[in-house]
């Protein structure tokens, strides 16, 4: 007998998730699933943090159930991208996903095909995002904008002077507000004669 988790979400506190829960309980009963946990959120679908969904994903990673039942795909995710990420996570964890309204079941061949298609779309979307970021960075460089952190401006002479005075690398790093890893190459490289 498969262990099932039910997930429901309503957007506002005056709505009641019981309609969704009743349909999902009936579906679990018809399929012979044992309901081990019910998760619920009363929050807008656009919110990134959802306690019920977050707890469900944590429990999925712990192997507490084999299948997730939702009333509709839009109940589980705030966007198409988020939906694809949730499905991808569940697929990697070998947890089946069933949607009552859309009749999607990832256990069957059609459901597995949908997962493959969804995975390909998600990968394409990630690639497009990476390419857009790279294009933006190229444009910024061409316009003379600096990309990334500003380079550290170190007073190499003062660092060498402190070392000659007997300070440890850790003390020098603290005094100059740098890491010891940043200070080591400075001390290894000798100063030009005119700076000594």
Note whether 41 and 87 are same-domain residues. Answer: yes
Q: Would you say residue 69 has pLDDT above 90?
A: yes
In a domain, 20, yes or no: yes
pLDDT of residue 87: 84
Cβ atoms of 56 and 68 within 8 Å: the answer is: yes
Catalytic residue among 11, 91, 127, 168: 11
Note whether 7 and 102 are same-domain residues. Answer: yes
In a domain, 36, yes or no: yes
3-state secondary structure the chain: CCEEEEEEEECCCCCCCHHHHHHHHHHHHHHCCEEEEEEEEECCCCCCCCHHHHHHHHHHHCCCCCEEEECCHHHHCCCHHHHHHHHHHHHHCCCEEEECCCCEECCCHHHHHHHHHHHHHHHHHHHHHHHHHHHHHHHHHHCCCCCCCCCCCCCHHHHHHHHHCCCCHHHHHHHHCCCHHHHHHHHHCCCCHHHC
Note whether 36 and 92 are same-domain residues. Answer: yes
Note whether 87 and 10 are same-domain residues. Answer: yes
Q: Which two tokens stand for residue 196?
A: 């000594």
In a domain, 132, yes or no: no
Note whether 11 and 90 are same-domain residues. Answer: yes
Q: Which two tokens stand for residue 21?
A: 């829960």
Can 11 be counted among the known catalytic residues? Answer: yes
Q: What is the pLDDT of residues 22-61, one digit of tens each?
A: 999 999 999 999 999 999 988 776 666 789 999 999 999 9
Region 99-110 average pLDDT: 82
Instruction: Give the whole-angstrom CA distance, residue 155 versus residue 152.
Output: 10
Residue in 166, 196, 170 with CA at minimum distance from that of residue 184: 170
In a domain, 92, yes or no: yes
| CATH at residue 33 | 3.40.50.1390
Share of the chain above pLDDT 90, in %: 32
In a domain, 163, yes or no: yes
Please give the tally of structural domains in the chain. Answer: 2
Note whether 50 and 115 are same-domain residues. Answer: yes
Q: Which domain holds residue 185?
A: 156-195
Q: Name the more confident of 24 and 76.
A: 24
Q: Would you say residue 196 has pLDDT above 60?
A: no
User: Could you count the other beta carbons within 10 Å of the beta carbon of residue 92?
Assistant: 10
Q: What is the pLDDT of residues 111-160, one digit of tens each?
A: 777 767 766 776 787 788 888 889 988 998 899 888 877 777 888 888 88
pLDDT of residue 187: 86
Share of the chain above pLDDT 70, in %: 91
Is pTM, for the whole model, over 0.75?
Answer: no
In a domain, 130, yes or no: no
Q: Which of 78, 95, 121 represents a domain boundary (last residue)?
A: 121
Note whether 117 and 160 are same-domain residues. Answer: no
């Amino acid at each position: 007998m498969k262990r099932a988790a039910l997930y429901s979400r309503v957007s506002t506190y005056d709505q009641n998730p019981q309609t969704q829960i009743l349909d999902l309980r009936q579906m679990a009963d018809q399929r012979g699933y044992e309901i081990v946990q019910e998760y619920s959120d009363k929050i807008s679908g656009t919110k990134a943090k959802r306690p019920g969904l977050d707890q469900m994903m944590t429990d999925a990673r712990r192997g507490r159930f084999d299948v997730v039942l939702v009333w509709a795909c839009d109940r589980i995710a705030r966007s198409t991208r988020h939906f694809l990420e949730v499905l991808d996570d569940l697929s990697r964890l070998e947890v089946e996903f069933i949607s009552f309204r859309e009749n999607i079941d990832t256990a069957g061949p059609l459901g597995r095909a949908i997962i493959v298609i969804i995975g390909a779309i998600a990968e394409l979307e990630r690639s497009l995002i990476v390419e857009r970021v790279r294009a933006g960075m190229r444009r910024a460089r061409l316009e003379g904008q600096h990309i990334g952190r500003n380079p550290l401006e170190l007073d190499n002479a003062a660092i060498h002077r402190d070392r000659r005075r007997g300070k440890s690398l850790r003390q020098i790093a603290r005094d100059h507000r740098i890491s010891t890893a940043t200070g080591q190459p400075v001390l290894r490289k000798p100063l030009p004669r005119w700076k000594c």
